[in-house]
Structure 1
Amino acid sequence: MRPWIASAIAVATGFLATAVASIATDQAMHATGVFPSVPQVMADPLFALAAAYRAIFTVAGGYITARLAPDRPMRHAWLLAGIGLAAGLASLIAYYGDGRAALGPAWYAISIPVEAIPCVWLGGRLGTWHRSLARTPRAHGNRP
């Protein structure tokens, strides 16, 4: 496989993992009654819950990207962070361009692009650290 294809797969997989996990969790929260049905506006604590699990999924996306990267895992994580930032800014523009109340409070709309870079960075660092552990030779049979 060509390196640029492996790089694209690593970044796309991290992005899709974050997006799919976020959307699936949103749907599960609505289906189980934790979040109200779609026409109703959620209370701020529920938006805080959504922001928290989205942050966790964003860290996981950075981790996945770094683990799958063929080389320079943090460079791949930074690419994912840029894509996440762009997507978050697009949602922020949609928030201010369309019906604000339907999309939640302003702090939530702002939190999405703000958390993209630090969360992906953390996931990338964890993935890089895990890669280095996987490459560290282990002593076999040496017990204290």
Structure 2
Amino acid sequence: MASSAARSVLSVLAGWGVVGVLVVTTDGVLAKLFPAEYVIGRMPPDYLVGISLATSTVWSVAGGWVTARLAPGRPWHHIVGLVIWGELLGIASSVMTWGQIQMWYQLGLLGLWMPAVVLGGWLRAGKPASIRAGAA
């Protein structure tokens, strides 16, 4: 059996991995459904990018839920870990792909990641203890 520290790391990586697999799969499906719109060297139309942003947000909720579900204890610490990990990778990805996709999409991903992951965590774990206890 894995140690608690290893399970903690794995719960965060599992949540992130679920999001990644679902996003890549969705983007692949969209590319198959709209092949004329996904052409190398050309930005896809706004409506498809909007669909991708919306589905990515839903998948981020799922990632927060998975992380909270797999956390060996203190799920909110793990959810915060997922938020930080995802934001760091999102910033790196945005820098590397700047100009290849609409700027609003990249900013939308960064802005929606945290509330979506937190919603997923809340759906699984409920309110954080500090909020339940009325602490500031």
TM-score for both structures, normalised by structure 2: 0.85
Q: Secondary structure at the match of 2:43?
A: coil
Aligned equivalents of 2:85, 2:75: Cα separation in 1: 16
Partner of 2:28: 27
Within-5 A mapping of 1:74-89: 74-89=76-91
Within-5 A mapping of 1:80-99: 80-96=82-98
1:95 CA drift (Å): 3.6
Contact 1:29–1:35, Cα closer than 8 Å, also in 2: no
Q: Which residue, out of 106, 109, 123, partners 2:120?
A: 123
Within-5 A mapping of 1:26-65: 26-33=27-34, 36-39=37-40, 40-65=42-67
Q: Which runs of 5+ in 2 are unaligned?
A: 127-136
Deviations 1:59-90 (A, max 9, x none): 10000000110101111011001011111111
1:41 CA drift (Å): 2.1
Aligned pair in 2 of structure 1 residues 87, 5: CA closer, same or farther (>3 Å)? same
Contact 1:35–1:46, Cα closer than 8 Å, also in 2: no
Aligned equivalents of 1:8, 1:35: Cα separation in 2: 40
**What fraction of aligned residue pairs are identical, expressed as a percent?**
29
TM-score for both structures, normalised by structure 1: 0.80
1:13 is the counterpart of 2:14: yes
Runs of 4+ in 1 over 6 A off after TM superposition: none
Aligned length: 124
Deviations 1:92-128 (A, max 9, x none): 22244xxx1xx22111111111111111111111110
Q: Which runs of 5+ in 1 are unaligned?
A: 130-144
Aligned equivalents of 1:23, 1:5: Cα separation in 2: 26
Aligned pair in 2 of structure 1 residues 34, 125: CA closer, same or farther (>3 Å)? farther
Partner of 1:72: 74
- The two structures, once aligned, show a CA RMSD in angstroms of 1.5
Q: Which has the larger radius of gyration?
A: 1
